[in-house]
Amino acid sequence: MSHLLTDRTKVRRIPDRGKYQEHELFEILDSSFLCHIAFCEANDLPVLIPTAYGHDKGFLYIHGATTSRMIKRLEEGAPLCFCVTIVDALVLARSAFHHSLNYRSVIVFGTAEKVEGEEKNRGLKIISDQILKGRWEEARPPNKKELKATTVLKIQVIEGSAKVRTGPPKDDAEDYSLDTWAGILPLRQQPGKPVDDPTLLKPIPLPDSVLNFLKNG
């Protein structure tokens, strides 16, 4: 067991789905770009916000407008819960009760820290790379004014866990003789056909970032 396991991160429901090794979490954190972040306001009121993130060797980066409520609260050091969830399949059992999803999720508990200077630039590139590798180099870099309007926060992955379900359905012994089809229906987020910005001033071929994504997913 690595240090990511604490009393709070232990998976209690179906404990054999719990994973606590850094590399197990990191692999999932590298496989999405959308997270949800929760924090509490006064009187135990939870607030939950979806946002893009990037992961680099145990550090999560998020960004937002300097004026955003979430950014301000997290910058103050509010405890946060960070979650990434990837659904891989519908799991269709013979009984309604044993229906499930194949999924990979990671929860991280912690706090965020504002980063500045070189690390701020690097954090923005990490977020951009995670959404679309290579796009950062194609786009005009942020200028001083844009950087000033943006806060970049870093969350170190110290306390967390992953929960993973894979494989076929598991039914009760007496249900295997039913005539009901059972199996899994894989789901995957896939790209469609890129759409040119209608304001392109002349035909411009698709950039490498998009071509590579279409080729390799």
Tally Cβ neighbours within 10 Å of residue 217.
9
Tokens 């992961």 sit on residue:
55
Over the window 128 to 167, marking each residue x when it contacts a copy of itself by CB under 8 A and - when it does not, the resulting string is x--xx--xx-xxxxxx--x---x-----------------
Neighbours of 162 (CB within 10 A): 24
> Please, what is the minimum distance in Å from the beta carbon of residue 29 to a copy of itself?
15
Residue 204 makes contact with a copy of itself by CB under 8 A: yes
| Cβ distance to a copy of itself smaller for residue 117 or 217 | 217
Looking at 4, 62, 124, 152, which residue binds a copy of itself (CB under 8 A)?
124
| Interface residue with a copy of itself, options 50, 57, 117, 215 (CB under 8 A) | 50
Distance CA 21, CA 28 (A): 11
Report in angstroms how near the CB of residue 3 gets to a copy of itself at its nearest.
Answer: 19
- Shortest distance, position 122 Cβ to a copy of itself, whole Å: 13
Residue 144 main-chain phi, psi, to 5 deg: -60, -45
Report the residue from 31, 79, 116, 156 that binds a copy of itself according to the rule CB under 8 A: 79
Q: 24 or 129, CB closer to a copy of itself?
A: 129
92-to-89, 166, 182, 189, 202 alpha-carbon distances in Å:
9, 13, 5, 20, 49
Whole-number Å distance between alpha carbons of 37 and 128: 18
Binding mask 18-47 for a copy of itself (x = CB under 8 A): ----------------x-xxxxx--xxxxx
- Contacts of residue 146, defined as CB under 8 A and 6 or more positions apart, other chains included, come to none
Does position 216 bind a copy of itself by CB under 8 A?
no
User: Does the protein bind a copy of itself through residue 72 (CB under 8 A)?
Assistant: no
150's tokens: 């943006």
